[in-house]
Amino acid sequence: MAEKKRIYGRCEYPGKVEGEALVAPKYLQGFTNVAPAKGYTTERNHPLYRVPYTGKILCFYSPRGSGGFLQYGFGKKPAGFVHTKSSPLTVGCMTQGHVPAMTDFEEDPMKYIETGDTVFINADEGYIEITKKEK
C-alpha cells in the first residue's frame, strides 16, 4: 500500500475531496491569463499553458497579478485547491469557487506534491494527505 503523507494546515474553504494533483511550478495568474470556460491557463510561456485543470486538485505556491485570479473559481473549475501562501487573490478565488481548499501549512506541501499524485483534502479537519503516484 502506498505511503501517505499527512500535512496539517488552515482550512480556506471547507469540505472533503480527493483527486489527482496538477502542480503549477510557476505562479498562476488570472484575468486574461486564464480561460474559466475552458478550464486552463492561457499565460504565454507558462508550464501549464492550456493544460486542463478541471476536476483536478490544483496545487501551487501562490498566485500573482490581477484580482481576476478569482476566475479560477468560475466555470470548469478545479475540484480543490492546495497552495502554500494565502493572499487576497486566493481569498477572492475561494469565495467564487466554493470547493475544498487548504493553505498556510505546517510544512510546505509543494515540496512533496507532484503532478499525478493523489491528494485528499480534508479541509473540515484541517489536513491534506498525499499519495505518491507509482513510478
Site for other proteins, rule CB under 8 A:
10-15, 27, 29, 31-35, 42-45, 49-50, 61-67, 73-74, 85-89, 91-92, 94-96, 98, 104, 123-126
- Which is closer to other proteins, CB of 111 or CB of 135? 111
Which are the contacts of 61, defined by CB distance < 8 A and separation ≥ 6? 24, 27, 83, 84, 85, 110
Minimum distance, C-beta of residue 133 to other proteins, in the bound complex (Å): 28
CA neighbours closer than 13 Å in the CB half-sphere of residue 93? 36
- Which is closer to other proteins, CB of 49 or CB of 116? 49
Minimum distance, C-beta of residue 121 to other proteins, in the bound complex (Å): 12
- Which strands sit side by side in the sheet containing 4-8, from one edge to the other? 4-8, 127-131, 118-122, 16-23, 57-60, 80-83, 101-103, 10-13
- Which is closer to other proteins, CB of 43 or CB of 117? 43
Minimum distance, C-beta of residue 13 to other proteins, in the bound complex (Å): 6
Backbone angles phi, psi at 57, to 5 degrees: -90, 105
- Which is closer to other proteins, CB of 68 or CB of 130? 68
